[in-house]
Structures are given as structure tokens and as C-alpha cells.
Amino acid sequence: MAGANSVAATAATPVQPTAPRRPGMLKRLLREPVAAFAFVLVVALVLAALLAPWLAPTDPFDNDLANAMAVPGTNGLLLGADSQGRNMITRLLYGLRITMMMGLASVLLGGGIGALVGFAAAYYRRIDGLLMRLMDVLLSFPAILFGLAIAAIFGPGVPAVVLALSVATVPLMARIVRGAALVIMRQDYIEAARATGMNDARLILRHLAPNCLSPIFVFATLRFGQVILLGSALSFLGLGAQPPVAELGAMASEGRNFLFFAPHIAVIPCVLIFVVVLAFNVLGDALRDALDPRLRV
Amino acid sequence: MSPLLEVSGLAKHYPVKKGVIVQKQVGTVRAVDGVSFHVNRGETLALVGESGCGKSTTARLVLRLIEPSAGTIRFEGKDVTKVEGGAMRLLRRRMQIVFQDPYASLNPRLTVGDAIAEPMVVHNIGDNASRRAKVHELLRLVGLAPFHAERYPHEFSGGQRQRIGIARALSVEPDLVVCDEPVSALDVSIQAQVVNLMKDLQARLGLSYLFIAHDLAVVKHMADRIAVMYLGAVMEIGDKGALFANPRHPYTRALLAAIPHPDPARRGRVTPLGGDVPSPMAVPPGCRFHTRCPFAQARCKQEVPELREITPGQRVACHFAETLPDPGLDYTGGLTEAATKRLALYDAARRKAA
């Protein structure tokens, strides 16, 4: 043991006898006040969307023409009523449901497939050219066009919107992930992993993917906002959520007709979209930092 | 007894292609061009040469991290160039690698304990508890503490990380460790720790090293035998003592003469090599060193010199190895003065600890 001990004595820097306990992921996330606020907001929004049927004061399709375009605060309607006299609070809760589901589903589905394609292209260089040219083909079509095509095939509605937005997200995520993965692939630790003889799946899941998380998170949260807006655009074109289904984008576009008489019909859903997108963006950034061991103190 | 590792005629040629749609091969980069050597059990073979001479490519070829274009690699007498799948996995367990850059060779998202245990997980060695015990044992072996297993690589210094890299390589108890310039990224006092650690581990575990370096002081300290590479081929190979005392190849001489020497009387007697290393895309015909060799003759431009045994154990790829004029230089001199300070430092570090 003399040899090892001698090395220990010369080499070891003065160290504490025990390792300090590392705070958990959630704790680190919540230490930043802005991130904590975003986290609470996202949880609240998700709960509100999930519990809409119980939280909503009225039925979402319950119209009361006497209260049409009621200003917030009148007749006990806290946020007023829309052009059909439907309670705005109810419509917003149900709209939040559809909108968030649409955004999350598109980002998770499209981003997930895109990430797989990106990793495959970076790892198996033989199929890189083929995969990326396919992605280029997808990139050349605007999301709205996909929406039109898919709505024409399957009929308009929320599933068509999710499908169209997922397809539009795939090539973007694939490009970003491929770029990040190519950088990581050149690192020595990938070669070291290969030298241990592990299989490709383990190498990609444990060594490649975790080190590509930052750009994935940033893009996914950015894309979430874009997707909600695109979804609204598709709803506006009549390809998305069909009336009388409440969807925030559709509500905003419907309110556009009454912008001068009853601005609250358009403005309130827009503010809610803004809050949702912002909360997810801030949380995404905080999550990325919390997941990076290098940024842990 | 057959050597642990025997490499013969190993080559890696990269095609150079041109054209966007119809690709046409316009040349070949001969990164490694017919390299032969062997490593005995428990010994250290140092591979030296200047940047770009194919040392690291050779290392990766030996581990089959890249596929050779030609040649054979025999591990315990068995050709491993054609081995695939499960058999290759078993072989990987017995050959490990330590990298040059300790900052790039550890996955920043894995704790040190996970990184060291990973090769054991991949090869299904032991269960979680026994792996953890082994990780702690390895950490102690390389002079770190067991609690370091919970930490992440960025919390360590370069020398500590390099020792973590060594612990990772040793976790599956390999026979051969390929060290790709393991200390050249470390500063001198840290080099001492790592070099001494590697020597101690070799003595205790009977490891064989294929040690790649361009620092001759480190090589002198570590190696049993030395192979000198130039432009993808071995120029001279021999025992450390013989090679330093009596280098036969003009390139080896130039390499040794280039070591800074404190003796001012030496000035003017050493002619440094002129010119640059030719591109590996256009390796000179005949002896690849003839463009820069001060003794080159007509024969050198036509005939490729084979590695010939000049004295027992010392093989040289030069037509005129026996007849070259003796420049009368003491090559070890430069080392004993400038770099021996460093060697002394290595030893001092060891003594202080003992």
C-alpha cells in the first residue's frame, strides 16, 4: 500500500472529511425567486386547466345573449362575457385546457421525434445525409400549409392541429439536436465510453443525450410559445378548434371583431397566452440550469 | 511466451474526396502507414514522435476505436482485427485507454463514482454494492477519497481528473492500458503525481502500457522500450537505454539532439533538422525521412528501408544505420541537465510521500 499512500499524500488536496450534501433538483430550482414564481405559476395554470370542469362557474357553451359582450365586473361576471354572452372565466379555463394540451402535445411529440432523428443523424453518420435532406424537405413547408393539408385529410379540429404542429416541429428540433450532438460526439468521453464496449443505446442515452439537454430545453420552451401562436393562427383560419369549443387563440381571433366595442374579449385571452408562454419559458430556462451539474453550487 | 500485444503492418489510410454530388477520390492521407511493434506483459512501450506523426491514430487503431485499413493486431496471439460483437466486448474489457485532456475525457453529467463504475456495469461485473466498494478502492488507489465518488468532474483539478480517468480505465482490471499523452496537458508538479502513480500501479497490478508521448523526459522515466515514429511509420525501436545511449536512426538523433542542452560548448555542433514534415497526403518515396535527412543518398529516394535488427533488441529503418558517422554527442546530456531536474522532482515527490 506504500505506493498508493505516497501518492495520496502528495496528490490529495486538503479536503473535508465528508462530502457536503447536495440539494435536490427541485430545491435548486426553487432557490431562484423568478424561477420559483414561474414554477408556481405553471403548476397553477396546469391545475386550472385540469380542474376546469370543477372550477368553472358555468357551462362553457351556456350562452346568455342578454349579457353579450358584458364588460368585466357587470352582472357578477368578473371578466365579463363574450359576444355570445358566455362567461369569460369559464371560456378561459376551458380554453387554457385545449391550448396548453395542444402546445405540450405538439412540442413533446414533434420535439421527441425530432430529437431522435437528430441523435440518429449525429451518431450514425451514414444516414446523416439522408435524414437531414428529409428534414430539409419538411422545413421548406410552412406550418400553416401542413395544417391545411392535414385538416383536408383528417378534417379540421384539435388533433389535426397537433399533428400539423408536431410535423412542423420535427425538422427544427432535429437540426438543433444534430448540431449539439455532433459537438459532443467529438469529446473524449464519448470515445472512452466506446472503449468500454457499451452498446449504442446506452452510449446515446447516458453520454450523448444528457450533454445535449441545454439546447433541447431552450428550443422546446421557445417552441412551446410559437406553437401556441401557430395553433391560434390555425384556429383563426378555421382549421383548428371548431366553434363552440373554447381555445385561447380562437377566442382572441373571435374577439378581434369586437375590438372597439368590447376589447376585453380579445385582450384577456391574449394576456393569458402571454402568461402561459412566459411562465413556461422561464421555467424551462431554470430547469435547464438546475439539471446541469456544472451550475450546482 | 508470446507478447501481450503484437502489431504488424498496421495502417490507416483516409481517402480524400472532392466533388459535391459525384465524389471522386483525389488522394489518400496515410495517417498510419505500416507500423509494427509489440508490447510484452508488464512492460511499457513508449511511442514518441512529433505532432501529426500518427501516434494517437495508432493508439486508437490498437483499441479498434477506428478500423485499420491494413495490418494485424494480435492480442495474446489472437488476431483481433476481425473480431466482432460479443467477443469484441470481452476484448474491450482487457484493453483500456487514458486520454490526454482530463477536461474532455470525463462526462460532466456523471458523478465520478458513476463514471468509474460504468465499465463494470457494461461488462456485468458484480452488483451495485460490490461495484461501489470497488469504486472506493480504486479512488483510494489513485490517491483520492471514497467520498469523492459523489462529486462531479468539474469539482476536480486537472491532475485529479486524470487520476479519475486512470481509475476508470482500471475498474475492469485490464491487461493493457493505452495512454494517449496522459500527462502532456498537466503542469510539471502534477505530472510527477500522475507519472509516479502510473509506475506504482504497473508494479502492483502487472499492467502493460502503450505510452504515447512527445516529452522525452517523461518517456525516459516511464518507458522500458521506445518506438520512434515519423510520418506514420516506425523509424527506430529499441530498449530505452540503448536508444538514448546510441540512437542509430538520423531522425532519432535529431529528436534527441533537439532536447535543450545547458552546455554552451555544444552550440554549433548540433544542426537542427531543416524543412517541415511532408504532408501525409504525399509521403516521399523511398525512405520517408530522406527529404530532411542530412545523410540522404540516392538509394534513400528509391528504396524503402525495412526495420532491421542492428543490435539485439534495437531495430532501425535506415539503409546506412551501421555506417552513419558518430556525431559524438552525448544525447543523455540534455536530459540529465534540463529534464533531470524534472525527473528529480518526480523522485522527490515520491520520497517526500514515503
How confident is the model at residue A4, as a pLDDT? 42
> Hey, is A80 helix, strand or coil?
coil
Minimum mean pLDDT among A52-66, A171-185, B169-183, B312-326: which range?
A52-66
How confident is the model at residue A132, as a pLDDT? 93
Contact A11 B99 (CB under 8 A): no
How far is residue B40's CA from residue B175's CA, in Å, rounded to a whole number? 11
What one-character-per-residue DSSP string does B136-156 give? HHHHHHTT--GGGGGS-GGGS
C-alpha cell at B2: 508470446
From residue B133, how far is each of A272, B48, B146, B168 by CA, in Å? Answer: 54, 37, 9, 14
> Hey, is A148 helix, strand or coil?
helix
Minimum mean pLDDT among A77-86, A90-99, B122-131: which range?
A77-86
Which residues 188-217 on chain A approach chain B with CB closer than 8 angstroms? Answer: 188-189, 191-198, 202, 206-207, 210-211
Task: Taking residues B347-354, report their average pLDDT.
Answer: 68
Q: How far is A130 from chain B (nearest CA, A)?
A: 13
Domain with CATH 3.40.50.300 in chain B: 40-61+82-229
Count Cβ atoms within 10 A of the Cβ of residue B278 and give its class: 0-12 exposed, 13-18 middle, 19 or more buried: middle
C-alpha cell at A32: 431562484
What percent of chain B lies above the pLDDT cut of 90?
A: 20
- Reported confidence tier of residue B46, pLDDT bands at 50, 70, 90: very high
Task: Taking residues A272-289, report their average pLDDT.
Answer: 87
How far is residue B259's CA from residue B262's CA, in Å, rounded to a whole number? 10
Contact B197 A207 (CB under 8 A): no
- Reported confidence tier of residue B173, pLDDT bands at 50, 70, 90: confident
Q: How many residues does chain B have?
A: 354
How confident is the model at residue B262, as a pLDDT? 67
Measure CB to CB from residue B203 to each of A3, A187, A296 and give the nearest one: A3
Contact B97 A5 (CB under 8 A): no
pTM above 0.90, yes or no: no
How confident is the model at residue A7, as a pLDDT? 41
Which residues 3-32 on chain A approach chain B with CB closer than 8 angstroms? Answer: 3-13, 15, 17-19, 22
Contact A6 B144 (CB under 8 A): no
Measure CB to CB from residue B65 to each of A17, A195, A207 and give the nearest one: A195
Q: Which residue carries 420559483 as its cell?
A: A36
Residue B354, pLDDT > 70, answer no
Which residues 221-250 on chain B approach chain A with CB closer than 8 angstroms? Answer: none
C-alpha cell at B1: 511466451
Contact B109 A2 (CB under 8 A): no
Residue B3, pLDDT > 80, answer yes
* Nearest in space to B305 (alpha carbons), one of B313, B256, B295, B61: B295
> Which of A5, A6, A7, A296 is best to mutate for the B interface (most B CBs within 10 A)?
A7
> Which of A10, A198, A216 is best to mutate for the B interface (most B CBs within 10 A)?
A10
How far is residue A169's CA from residue B296's CA, in Å, rounded to a whole number? 64
* B148 contacts chain A (CB < 8 A): yes
A87 compared with A104, residue with greater pLDDT:
A104
How confident is the model at residue B327, as a pLDDT? 65
* A140 contacts chain B (CB < 8 A): no
How confident is the model at residue B213, as a pLDDT? 87
Helix residue ranges per DSSP H, chain B: 55-62, 85-94, 112-122, 128-141, 158-170, 188-205, 216-222, 240-245, 250-257, 298-302, 331-334, 340-353
How far is residue A203's CA from residue B89's CA, in Å, rounded to a whole number? 14
> Which of A1, A5, A6, A186 is best to mutate for the B interface (most B CBs within 10 A)?
A6
* Nearest in space to B30 (alpha carbons), one of B11, B17, B5: B11
Residue B57, pLDDT > 50, answer yes
How confident is the model at residue A2, as a pLDDT? 41
Measure CB to CB from residue B107 to each of A2, A8, A189 and give the nearest one: A189
Residue A5, pLDDT > 50, answer no
How confident is the model at residue A121, as a pLDDT? 94
What percent of chain A lies above the pLDDT cut of 70?
A: 91
* A297 contacts chain B (CB < 8 A): no
How far is residue A213's CA from residue A231's CA, in Å, rounded to a whole number? 26
Q: Which of chain A's residues have a Cβ under 8 Å away from the Cβ of B201? A: 3
Q: How far is A127 from chain B (nearest CA, A)?
A: 16
How confident is the model at residue A17, as a pLDDT? 46
Tens digits of residue pLDDT in B15-40: 888 877 777 888 888 888 889 999 99
B236 compared with A233, residue with greater pLDDT:
B236
Closest CA in chain B for residue A5: B143
Tens digits of residue pLDDT in A164-193: 999 999 999 999 999 999 999 988 899 888
How far is residue A230's CA from residue B286's CA, in Å, rounded to a whole number? 67
Overall CATH class of domain B40-61+82-229: alpha beta
Go through the domains of chain A in sequence order and give each one's CATH number: 32-53+79-295 (1.10.3720.10)
How confident is the model at residue A120, as a pLDDT? 93
Minimum mean pLDDT among A67-71, B140-144, B157-161: which range?
A67-71
Minimum mean pLDDT among A175-179, B81-85, B230-234, B341-345: which range?
B341-345
- Reported confidence tier of residue B335, pLDDT bands at 50, 70, 90: low
Contact B88 A211 (CB under 8 A): no
- Reported confidence tier of residue B331, pLDDT bands at 50, 70, 90: low
A200 compared with B342, residue with greater pLDDT:
A200
Residue A297, pLDDT > 60, answer no
Residue A3, pLDDT > 50, answer no
Residue B147, pLDDT > 50, answer yes
Residue B8, pLDDT > 60, answer yes
Which residues 151-180 on chain B approach chain A with CB closer than 8 angstroms? Answer: 151-152, 154, 157, 159-160, 163, 165, 168, 172
* B87 contacts chain A (CB < 8 A): no
* A183 contacts chain B (CB < 8 A): no
Task: Taking residues A12-19, report their average pLDDT.
Answer: 46
- Reported confidence tier of residue B182, pLDDT bands at 50, 70, 90: confident
How confident is the model at residue B301, as a pLDDT? 86
Q: Which of chain A's residues have a Cβ under 8 Å away from the Cβ of B168? A: 192
Measure CB to CB from residue A7 to each of B110, B123, B196 and give the nearest one: B196
Q: Which of chain B's residues have a Cβ under 8 Å away from the Cβ of A22? A: 150
Contact A4 B140 (CB under 8 A): yes
Minimum mean pLDDT among A11-25, A244-258, A262-276, B187-201: which range?
A11-25
> Which of B63, B67, B101, B107 is best to mutate for the A interface (most A CBs within 10 A)?
B107
Helix residue ranges per DSSP H, chain A: 2-11, 25-31, 33-50, 52-55, 88-123, 128-139, 143-154, 158-185, 188-195, 200-202, 213-236, 248-255, 264-291
